[in-house]
Structure 1
Amino acid sequence: MIVLLLGSGGREHALAASISRSPLLTRLIATPGNPGIAQHAELKSVAADDVAGVVALARDEKVDLVVVGPEAPLVAGVVDALAEAGIKAFGPTAAAARLEGSKAFTKELCARKNIPTAGFRRARSAEEGHAAVEEFGAPVVVKADGLAAGKGVVVASELDEAHAAVDAIFADPGAEAVVEEFMEGEEASLFALCDGRTALLFGDAQDHKRAFDGDKGPNTGGMGAYSPAPALSHALIERAMAEIVRPTVAAMAEDGAPFVGFLYAGLMLTSDGPKLVEYNARFGDPEAQVVLPRLKDDLLELMLAAVDGKLEGREVDFRPETALAVVMAAKGYPAAYQKGSEIRGIEKAEKRPGVTVFHAGTSIEDGRLVASGGRVLAVSAIGADASEAQMNAYSAVDLIDWPEGFCRRDIGWRAAAASEEG
């Protein structure tokens, strides 16, 4: 079958690598793609959120299935437009993608269905936001309501910082915010493959959001991840699926917006049990780069089953080993950074056992591979446990020649410590 993959990041490179292994695949097209994705797919130049352009491309290429990687096309309604054109698509409709597109929508759904999450106030004005900050006190969490590429969240330890975050959000006309109570605990990510009614567990992971070692510095889109997450025991996973994920999928179906695709639940593991931090309506990045390398099943066949509503009674099979990915970013990220610096040594790195270098922000200029984004590469490695996976990943990172880049040197420290103790 002919598959069209939308997106150009590390998540989409991981999806392309997995889809390309399916015996069902006859041709893989990606738009706009990147040099890493080009190893698996034919690249086109349509923007992923150009809804009309995507529909036209899918028609022209006689595509059997469109797989949507990033969130922006989902919120823009690309799945709805493809359905109107009679083309199958893996991903939620715009109505279902509100789980990510509007934090306020999700918090109100949680309140309605008694899904465990932080207490919150929806703020439609700066005045309401400031009042909510004063009500909760510090520490407090301030979130922009819409899409923010993983960076629209301020965890404020002081009231002045929280009030400044409110002012920054409402500097944009029409903005809304959600102010939440601070939750104590360890964060982890749970993934579910959904067909509108059934939600299948699709792996777990932990990522590192802060830019620098020791969880210092500003929040980013993610500086590394590992899977599985030792903090998520089997009992905690079952509880999160039963109390958070499945009730959400049921509620969306009841509301006439059945969720099809990957549902990503960001969890806080509190003393009262797992609570929802927020949902993403697609796979995580860089979590996809550690979950998908462990997948034993045929990803394309699973996606088709989800689109066709045929997941009930199934399970997803993963390798028992640990995968760990280190993100290499351009110096200055997540603030201003330079583009155009040359990257060498990826071929050497990928000769290491179990290592894949996923491209996130790269392009080809004059025959050279150059950095074209903030997060540029995700160096992913498999190991018998987290300690070995960490060692394998960093040995590959050290073979990449890119002076203008940086990475954290402590990705997976919690899991590595747990595996060494075990």
Structure 2
Amino acid sequence: MRVLVIGSGGREHALCWAIGKSPRLRKLFCAPGNAGTAAVAENVGLDIDDPQAVIAFCAAERIDFVVVGPDAQVVAGLGDRVRGAGIACFCPSAEAARLEGSKSFTKALCDEFNIPTARYARFDAEAPALAYIRSQPVPIVVKADGLAAGKGVTVAMSRIEAEAAVRDCFAGAFGAAGASVVIEEFLEGEEASVFVLCDGERTLLLETAQDHKRAFEGDTGPNTGGMGAYSPAPVMTDALIARTMNEIIDPTVQGLKARGTPYQGVLYAGLMITREGPKLIEYNARFGDPECQVLMMRLKSDILDLLEAAATGNLRGRHAEWREEAALTVIMATRGYPGAYGKGSVIAGAEGLDDETLQVFHAGTARIDGQLVANGGRVLNVTALGATVGDARARAYAAIDAIDWPEGFFRRDIGWRALSRG
């Protein structure tokens, strides 16, 4: 197969790395890619926000299958346009992807199909949102309704912080994503993520993971797109996974099918494991980043086969095989992230560390005059396998210690929840 992967982050590097191992692969392209994907695919300077440019490239290069990675292109409906041109594509429809593109859409679906989630209210104006906050207990959660690159969520520990978050949304801090606001009760418990492939009717459970959203150690500082992750998530017992499938995933998939908007792609359920059981925090309509990196490290099955089966409605009888080892990834980010940060700093020692059990997946990187440089906020994803989460973490940090990048930073405590279990 001739395959095109859309995106330029660590998720896309991990997908390219995994797809590259498939015996069915003839040629792999990545658009636009990064310095890491260039080692496993041919990077293509496409405007991925222009569906017609993507389709024209696919026609010229006789692409058999397109895999769309980033949330923006998923929600914008790139998959619909590619399929409309007669090309198989792993990407949910724009209508189904509203699960990620609109938090209020997902909340309404939870109401309709009795899916457990946090109590909430939605507002299109600042004044009633502020009045609502003043009537609620704190902590409380304020979310921009639309896509905000993982930065539109504030877990407010005080009303002052919650009110500031509401004002930021309506002042345009998150652009159109903040034109509406969803305010939720604060759920207590442990967060975890469950990933499933869907073919419009059937689901295939993949694996579980936990990530670290806060920028700094001790889970402090601003929310980011993710500073690290590990798989499997120890909190997700077989019983909790079964409840998640029965109470959350299956009602969602069957509900969308009944509405006439079947879901085909990967469905990422962000959960809070409360005293009452699993509750849905949010859905993402694509692989998580950095969760994808740890999933691809653990997957033994041919990912290309699985993605194609989901995209073409053929998951019946499929299964996925996984390594028993744990995987852990640590994000190395540019100082200043998730706020303002510079570009162009030189990174030394990041190459030549890879083997089958350790990979340095690239995110915001570029190669200029032969040197590897930082070209984004989250830059490297150092990912390792180990017999336990602790073993994987030790190997990942040993690799990080070999990397010379003074302008970067990372957390030293990724995986602390798993290790605290003993």
TM-score, normalisation: structure 1: 0.97
Q: SS at 2:313's partner residue? A: coil
Structure 1 residues 417 and 139, CA gap change in structure 2 (3 angstroms): closer
Matched residues in 1 for 2:131 and 2:251: separation? 31
Which amino acid in the other structure matches residue 381 of structure 2?
A
Measured against aligned partners, the alpha-carbon deviations of 1:342-366 in whole angstroms (never above 9, x if no partner) come to 0010135336x72100000000111
Q: What residue in structure 1 maps to residue 247 of structure 2?
A: 243
Q: What residue in structure 2 maps to residue 281 of structure 1?
A: 285
Matched, 1:264 2:254: no
Measured against aligned partners, the alpha-carbon deviations of 1:2-52 in whole angstroms (never above 9, x if no partner) come to 101000000000000010111111010110001111111111111322222
Q: What residue in structure 1 maps to residue 39 of structure 2?
A: 39
Counterpart mapping for 1:7-86 below 5 A:
7-86=7-86
Which amino acid in the other structure matches residue 123 of structure 1?
F
Matched, 1:164 2:164: yes
Q: SS at 2:236's partner residue? A: coil
Measured against aligned partners, the alpha-carbon deviations of 1:190-210 in whole angstroms (never above 9, x if no partner) come to 101110111111111000011
Runs of 4+ in 1 over 4 A off after TM superposition: none
Q: What residue in structure 1 maps to residue 184 of structure 2?
A: 180
Counterpart mapping for 1:103-252 below 5 A:
103-172=103-172, 175-252=179-256
Q: 8 Å contact 2:297–2:357 — kept in the other structure?
A: no
Q: What residue in structure 1 maps to residue 413 of structure 2?
A: 410
Q: SS at 1:333's partner residue? A: coil
Measured against aligned partners, the alpha-carbon deviations of 1:179-230 in whole angstroms (never above 9, x if no partner) come to 1011000101110111011111111100001111111111111000000010
Matched residues in 2 for 1:314 and 1:247: separation? 21
Structure 2: unaligned runs, 5 residues or longer:
none
Which amino acid in the other structure matches residue 82 of structure 2?
L
Q: 8 Å contact 1:143–1:154 — kept in the other structure?
A: yes
Counterpart mapping for 1:339-358 below 5 A:
339-350=343-354, 354-358=357-361
Q: 8 Å contact 1:350–1:396 — kept in the other structure?
A: no
Q: 8 Å contact 1:348–1:400 — kept in the other structure?
A: no
Matched residues in 1 for 2:68 and 2:83: separation? 13
Matched residues in 2 for 1:282 and 1:416: separation? 28
Matched residues in 1 for 2:316 and 2:243: separation? 19
Match of 2:327 among 315, 323, 328: 323
Which amino acid in the other structure matches residue 168 of structure 1?
D
Q: 8 Å contact 1:263–1:283 — kept in the other structure?
A: yes
Measured against aligned partners, the alpha-carbon deviations of 1:309-359 in whole angstroms (never above 9, x if no partner) come to 1112332111110000000000111111111000010135336x7210000
Matched residues in 2 for 1:307 and 1:347: separation? 34
Measured against aligned partners, the alpha-carbon deviations of 1:107-159 in whole angstroms (never above 9, x if no partner) come to 00001100000001011111232133223331110000110111110000101
Q: 8 Å contact 1:349–1:397 — kept in the other structure?
A: no
Matched residues in 2 for 1:400 and 1:97: separation? 38
Which amino acid in the other structure matches residue 41 of structure 1?
A
Q: 8 Å contact 1:3–1:65 — kept in the other structure?
A: yes
Q: SS at 2:62's partner residue? A: coil
Q: 8 Å contact 2:346–2:373 — kept in the other structure?
A: yes
Q: SS at 1:346's partner residue? A: coil
Matched residues in 1 for 2:94 and 2:129: separation? 27
Measured against aligned partners, the alpha-carbon deviations of 1:45-71 in whole angstroms (never above 9, x if no partner) come to 113222221111111111111000001
Which amino acid in the other structure matches residue 20 of structure 2?
S
Q: 8 Å contact 1:390–1:416 — kept in the other structure?
A: no
Matched residues in 2 for 1:178 and 1:80: separation? 28
Q: 8 Å contact 2:88–2:312 — kept in the other structure?
A: no
Which amino acid in the other structure matches residue 299 of structure 1?
I
Match of 1:332 among 329, 336, 341: 336
Identity rate, percent: 57
Counterpart mapping for 1:321-400 below 5 A:
321-350=325-354, 354-400=357-403
Measured against aligned partners, the alpha-carbon deviations of 1:239-274 in whole angstroms (never above 9, x if no partner) come to 101110111011111111111111100000000000
Matched residues in 2 for 1:96 and 1:222: separation? 24
Q: SS at 2:394's partner residue? A: helix
Q: SS at 1:332's partner residue? A: coil
* More displaced 10-residue stretch of structure 1: 121-130 or 181-190: 121-130
Q: SS at 2:353's partner residue? A: helix
Q: SS at 2:283's partner residue? A: strand
Matched residues in 2 for 1:241 and 1:135: separation? 34
- Measured on the aligned residues, the alpha-carbon RMSD in Å equals 1.2
